[in-house]
Amino acid sequence: MPSNPSASPSLAHRLSHSILTWVIGAILLALFLGSIRFGGHPFIPKPVGNVFATFSDLFNQFLSFSIPLIIIGLVTPAIADLGRGAGKWLGITTALAYTSTLFAGFLTFLVCAAAFPRLLSGTSLADVAKPEGALSSYFTVKMPPAVEVMTALLLSFVVGIGLSMVPRGVLRKGFIEFRAIITRLIERIIIPLLPLHIFGIFLNLTYTGAAGAVMKALLRVVVVVLILEVVILGIQFLTAGLIGRRNPLKALLTMLPAYLTALGTSSSAATIPVTLRQTKKNGVSDAVASFTVPLCATIHLAGSTSKIFSFAFAIVLTQGVHVTTAQWIGFIFMLGITMVAAPGVPGGAIMAATGLLSSMLGFDKQQVALMIATYIALDSFGTATNVTGDGAIAIIVDRMAGGSVNDEGDPENVRELSFDGMAYLHAVSVEGVVSPEELEASAAATRSGE
């Protein structure tokens, strides 16, 4: 029987093309090959291992160069887009999503502060000796970033807020194009090369003798993260059930297909059709569901926030990094904002957060790399928590809005929302430039809508 070419890819096909599969495979392969010894010598000779160490060093340099650009390219247009809201329902939905994200962050903080000192007691990765056999890079190429990370953050906030006040400005269009460039950089270069980079990191850990201690600590953190995400979803739907007058358990079970789909896609954006369908099955009106689900797929990342914070706390605790309570609180608030800018691709959330890890927590390149590896290994679970929680927010908004949302903003805001950034990008990519005639036609269409 011939196969249907339009049918969705099989689970095996999706797994084979998933970054999650490649990252886990890279970690396991590095641990396996690094643990094999012949006559006291490693299976992979040191000269060969140094090749991977050289690649990891170069990748680290490139990542350090890219982080400020990622921050500017993602955070600036995200703040500009949020600032041009279409009335109160965009503001209310955004506030609910941000509150949910902050709640997940602070709940994770309390759990980590209470549990990790006992779970990770005796695990001090900072004290792991580095023997002479550790891998080293053959050469290094300095790639200094264009601006410092904190400068990039401040610049993104200042310019983003300014762009939200300038309707249809040329600079905003430039940042839309820059965001497209940065997204492609993450999708086509950074994410595909991560497995090889992670292989080099964990291969080096087997040479230094730290692999066992690292994996033991990470497995304990994983258990806490998975339990936390179940608790977060339970609280979200209990709250939604109380406000929306629905059975919270039934509503959560209805969203299960969206959770399972996200486990396979590791992408909130790719799961939107399923999330939208299940949200409507929960009794949310078409108008509210169509408004909240795509929006929350971009701005509501409670699961990702919890996961990033858990692993960051574990690294700080086990590697002797000093972070005060005030720093942790500031980190949670900033992480919630930064998650709004995360691109809807696998690993996008951690790439958007790398600047905060280095600027606010003082992580070095190796610690950031370890964060990326551990996050991506569990990326799908965080994404699944994100999209399932979107259903809870939709229930709350549906109750508050009475099943209807409309453009209650001022005319300038409505005009702002009519600007389609992707359509603009398509025009630029086809024509090379936007002609004066197109600009005049766009202006005429805007005037006719007033």
Q: What is the DSSP letter of 9?
A: P
In the predicted model, is pLDDT for residue 241 greater than 80?
A: yes
Give percent of the chain with pLDDT exceeding 90: 15
One-letter amino acid at 101 equals T
pLDDT value for 419: 47
Highest mean pLDDT among 148-162, 368-382, 386-400: 386-400
pLDDT value for 228: 92
Tell me the CA distances in angstroms from 424 to 168, 181, 236, 280, 430, one per residue in order.
11, 14, 37, 31, 10
More confident residue, 104 or 191: 104
197-237 pLDDT, tens per residue? Answer: 878 877 877 776 656 666 777 778 888 888 999 999 999 99
Structure tokens at 370: 């370890």
d(CA 360, CA 435): 44
Give percent of the chain with pLDDT exceeding 70: 75
d(CA 64, CA 52): 18
In the predicted model, is pLDDT for residue 332 greater than 90?
A: yes
Instruction: Tell me, rounded to whole angstroms, the distance of Cα 150 from its chain centroid.
Output: 19
Structure tokens at 347: 């690993």
In the predicted model, is pLDDT for residue 266 greater than 90?
A: no
Mean pLDDT of the chain: 77
Question: Model confidence at 18, in pLDDT bands (50, 70, 90)?
Answer: low
Domain locations along the chain: 19-81, 85-114
Structure tokens at 36: 């094999």
Mean pLDDT of the 11-31 span: 68
Q: Alpha helix (H) ranges present in 186-285?
A: 191-208, 211-244, 248-254, 256-265, 272-281
In the predicted model, is pLDDT for residue 142 greater than 60?
A: yes
Cβ–Cβ contacts within 10 Å for residue 360, how many?
Answer: 20
61-70 pLDDT, tens per residue? Answer: 887 788 788 8
d(CA 66, CA 191): 13
More confident residue, 395 or 365: 395
163-208 pLDDT, tens per residue? Answer: 877 756 778 888 888 888 888 887 788 878 878 887 887 787 777 6
d(CA 203, CA 197): 10
Question: Model confidence at 83, in pLDDT bands (50, 70, 90)?
Answer: low
Mean pLDDT of the 406-431 span: 47
pLDDT value for 418: 43
